[in-house]
Amino acid sequence: MNLKITAMLFTLGLFAGQLHAGPIKQATLPPIEHEQAALTVVASDGVETRYSAAELEMFPTYSLTTTTPWRDEPTVFEGVLLSDILEKNGLNGSPSILVTAENDYQTTMSKDLIDSVQILVATRVDGKAHSRRVRGPIQFIIDAEAFAGSSLATEASLVWMAARIEAAE
Amino acid sequence: MIPPSSSKFRFQRFLDAIASRLGIYSAIGVLILICVGMGTYLQSVVIELDKSLVEFEDQQVRNGYVAMSDVQRLVLVAHQAVNAGVMSKPLATEFRTAADILYVRANHFRQLSEGKENSFIKNSALATLDEIVALADDTVSNDFQDCDLVFKKLISLSSKARENLVQFLDEMRRQADLITEQQAGVMRHQQFVVLANLAGLTLVGSGALLLLRREVLERRGREIAERRSEFLAYFDSLTEIPNRIQFQDKLAEYIQSGAHFALIFIDLDEFKQINDTKGHSAGDATLKHVGRILQDAAENNFGFAARLGGDEFAFIVPTVDLVSLENLCKELLDKGSRYFDYEKGQLKLSFSIGLATSKMIEGSASVIAEALSRATDFALYVSKDEGRNRFTIYDETLEKRFRMRREMLDELPDAIANNALEVHYQPKVNLINGETFGFEALVRWRRNGDLVGPDDFIKLAEESDLVLDIDRFVLNRASSQVSEINRTSGSNFSVSVNLSAHHFASCRIVTWIKEALCDSDLQPTLLTFEITETVEMLDWKSAGEVIAEIRNLGCNIAIDDFGSGYSSLSYLYSTSPDELKIDRSLIIELETSAKARLLLKSIFEIARNLRMDVTVEGIGSSQQASILLSMGAKQGQGYLFGRPLIAELAFDAAMLGNATSTLKLSG
């Protein structure tokens, strides 16, 4: 059974045109009730698209088990890839993007960073819907090992309560 | 040179030691110490700063401000609900979100403080934030009952939170000021340390460079000195051609090889004169010039040239072909005789060259070296002896003859001192009556039992000025003996003494003549000096002065060997002699040659006109005497009248002859 799933995922990966190596693995997520939250993405043509957590999970979903600066124990994060969202909205060519959180926090992420490190836009933690009280409901997660090895990734890249993505001016 | 005990020398030794051994270790040691000291200090500074930065974290400051904002967000939503009189669903959602945000903020704030020493103010601020979150959670869980009361409590708590957070931020600011001050202090210390280290490194580096430079210069100096001393060991420093040591090695090498070769010695003629008159710079230039000539010749002839010392040079040529060697010597003489430039003008010189080949020498290798050098040296000596500016090829017969002559010359001073010289007298006869009126005093040398005539040693004596002593001896002896015979026998014999041209270089002979006349009491008019015109006599001014002095004494001057050699009419005119002595070469053909008779007749005529007596030498027969008498000759000398004899015999014979002549006349 496991062999069949692996073969299927491999085939899907080939057809999808990309196969993500490393700790981030594609995962199929069961339906779940999310906390009320939304990520607004301003596309390259200026069109704003508001994604609820459930809508975000319409993108290919992935699973990542890692620690974060605020979690000492490895935790299973699930969600979608930031690169997929940006590509969908034509922002993958932008030199940098501006990310705004619900608490008005803002950070700029360069294309180099996004291209060099896989960033998971997590909507679930340990199989449950992500919540604000634990830096959800939408949080940017980078594998701890990749985070430590990157000269571009900083704690500022691990945006919690992410609310808006747009091209940086 | 600095004496080893001097302080300067010790200091130099100290510097040498630093430069060579201690210097390297010391410089490395000092550099390590500086680096370790600097690293330790910087490490301590970093640790101190890290410690301060642990206490003060920029995020904490930001978190304080954001916390105030998050509290304000919650209060604002509550305020909207109070104003609206109802907590609408959207406002409730916003309230919950604001509460969640504040919860996370407080939580994050607390996480940032983990492991740090939290101040009372910070703990108070965190507690207040927790209270606000708890109030908000209660309100949500009570479904927003009694919003006014909640709002009042929220206002009160937010005020308290603001107050605590402001105090916290003030504390953070003080910490920031403290850190800034610490950093400034550290930077000042660091600046000092860096400057001090830079100064130290510069000092050590400069010292090391200076010592290195000293070492390099000294090493270079030593190398130059070593190369120089190596060069000087085998080369002549002035001409830069090989020296005597290398020459000896090369000579031994040639001899050892067994191949025949020629050895040439070259001396510069009159080199001392160049040094004395033109200065040593000219002398040095001359030697360099000769060195170049010989070096070129050596290269062209596959030979070897060397300076043996002074003005002596040597040349080895790998051939014994005498024609080639003669050409080489001629080429050297030719090149040497050309003018060459030196700093003060032009110079010209000449060489005396001696040559011998290894083929001429027989014997073992050790013998050949010495014998060949001696033979070459002899050939060189002959060249010098024969007038310089020539070359001589060694010849064994020549050497033997030369050795004999040399020995004679060496013995001559002793012969003069030990009365080994004798004066013989040859009569001068009146051709008319046959009476002897005087004698020519002729010197003889009784050497090893044999009687040596003047032709064999006078020329040698003239080369070394010994002739002066010989002439003086003859003068004294002849004056004394003739005066004695005149006094004892009542005769009035005159005597002729030969005088070398060497006397005319000074007036010393005049003094000697005075002494001789004084000592012998001989009448000056009975003393005649026979002089022969030679090359040396060409300086008429000097010779004329001496002759005049002699004549002033009352003595007579005769020209000897007239008609041969350099005799000339101008000579007669300048000297104004009292007597002419006609050379025997003119008498030989007297009986057969009308031309000879005509010539003699002319001489007699000239002499008569100049009021000079004429004595014909070399009369060997009565026929010659008769012819001469018929031609007007009055005085004669020759074997016909008597050979040179010792005083007693000569005088007795003369007096006997005169007595016989008188008897004949009276009879």
Residue of B nearest to A155 (CA): B59
Which H or E run contains B520?
Answer: helix B508-520
Model pLDDT, residue B535: 54
On whether any CB of chain A is under 8 Å from the CB of B110, the answer is: no
Band (pLDDT 50/70/90 cuts) for residue A23 is confident
Band (pLDDT 50/70/90 cuts) for residue A1 is very low
Q: Please name the member of B69, B93, B101 whose beta carbon is closest to the beta carbon of A161.
A: B101
Highest mean pLDDT (candidates A152-156, B343-347, B383-387): A152-156
Chain A contacts of B97, Cβ < 8 Å? 102, 132
- Distance CA(B328)–CA(A55), nearest Å, equals 118
On whether any CB of chain B is under 8 Å from the CB of A4, the answer is: no
Model pLDDT, residue B628: 92
Side-chain-facing half-sphere of A120: CA atoms under 13 Å? 32
CA B101 to chain A, closest CA, distance in angstroms equals 7
- Domain spanning B407-666: CATH superfamily: EAL domain (3.20.20.450)
Give the CA angle between residues A27, A32, A36 to the nearest 5°: 115
**Candidates 3.40.630.30, 3.20.20.70, 3.30.70.270, 2.60.40.1730; correct CATH number of B244-394?**
3.30.70.270
Model pLDDT, residue B134: 92
On whether any CB of chain B is under 8 Å from the CB of A160, the answer is: yes
Chain A contacts of B69, Cβ < 8 Å? 103-104
Model pLDDT, residue A4: 42
Chain A contacts of B70, Cβ < 8 Å? 103
Quick: pLDDT tens for B316-372: 999 999 999 999 999 999 998 888 888 888 888 899 999 999 988 877 777 888 889
pLDDT at A15 over 50: no
Token digits of residue A101: 């959180």
Pairing between β-strand B450-452 and β-strand A61-68 as defined by DSSP bridges: unpaired
Band (pLDDT 50/70/90 cuts) for residue B538 is low
pLDDT at B597 over 80: yes
Model pLDDT, residue B507: 81
Nearest to B526 by CA among B567, B563, B570, B558: B558
pLDDT at B90 over 70: yes
Model pLDDT, residue B119: 67
B267 by DSSP, 3-state: which? strand
- Distance CA(B345)–CA(B279), nearest Å, equals 12
Cβ B428 vs Cβ B422: under 8 Å = no
Model pLDDT, residue B349: 87
Quick: pLDDT tens for B549-559: 999 999 999 98
CA B169 to chain A, closest CA, distance in angstroms equals 19
Residue to mutate among A106, A132, A139, with most B CBs inside 10 A, is A132
Report the complex ipTM: 0.80
Cα separations in angstroms, B95 against A5, B15, B30, B129: 44, 86, 70, 15
CB contact under 8 A, B66 and A132: no
Largest CA-CA distance found in chain A, in angstroms, rounded: 49
CA A81 to chain B, closest CA, distance in angstroms equals 24
Model pLDDT, residue A99: 96
State which amino acid sits at residue B37: G
Q: Which of A36-40, A163-167, B446-450, B483-487 has the lowest mean pLDDT?
A: B446-450
Chain A contacts of B60, Cβ < 8 Å? none
CB contact under 8 A, B100 and A133: yes
Does domain A19-167 fall under CATH 3.90.420.10? My reply is yes
Nearest to B633 by CA among B611, B603, B661: B603
Residue of A nearest to B62 (CA): A105
On whether any CB of chain B is under 8 Å from the CB of A104, the answer is: yes
Residue of A nearest to B96 (CA): A132
CA B96 to chain A, closest CA, distance in angstroms equals 10
pLDDT at A16 over 60: no
Which H or E run contains B491?
Answer: none
- Distance CA(B292)–CA(B300), nearest Å, equals 12
Which residues partner with B421 through β-bridges?
A: B445
Model pLDDT, residue A14: 38
Cα separations in angstroms, B61 against A100, B58, B179, B184, B331: 20, 5, 14, 21, 107
Cβ B575 vs Cβ B545: under 8 Å = no
For chain A, the C-alpha Rg in angstroms (whole number) is 15
Quick: pLDDT tens for B116-156: 666 677 788 888 899 999 999 988 888 888 778 888 888 88
pLDDT at B570 over 80: no
CB contact under 8 A, B105 and A103: yes
Domain positions in chain A are: 19-167
pLDDT at B663 over 60: no
More confident site: A130 or A15: A130
Band (pLDDT 50/70/90 cuts) for residue A10 is very low
On whether any CB of chain A is under 8 Å from the CB of B581, the answer is: no
Chain B contacts of A70, Cβ < 8 Å? 108, 111
- Distance CA(B390)–CA(B401), nearest Å, equals 19
- Distance CA(B471)–CA(B420), nearest Å, equals 14
Average pLDDT, integer, range B29-58: 72
More confident site: B364 or B167: B167
Residues with Cβ within 8 Å of B241's Cβ and at least 6 positions away in sequence, in order, are B235, B291, B294, B295, B305, B306, B307
Residue of B nearest to A103 (CA): B101
Band (pLDDT 50/70/90 cuts) for residue A118 is very high
- Other C-beta atoms closer than 10 Å to the C-beta of A110 total 15
B421 by DSSP, 3-state: which? strand
Residue of B nearest to A135 (CA): B104
Q: Helix, strand, coil % (nearest 5) of chain B? A: 65, 15, 20
User: How many beta-carbon pairs below 8 A join chains A and B?
Assistant: 28
State which amino acid sits at residue B594: A
Side-chain-facing half-sphere of A152: CA atoms under 13 Å? 14
Band (pLDDT 50/70/90 cuts) for residue A75 is very high
Residues with Cβ within 8 Å of B225's Cβ and at least 6 positions away in sequence, in order, are none
Which residues partner with B528 through β-bridges?
A: B496, B556
On whether any CB of chain B is under 8 Å from the CB of A133, the answer is: yes
On whether any CB of chain B is under 8 Å from the CB of A71, the answer is: no
Band (pLDDT 50/70/90 cuts) for residue B8 is low
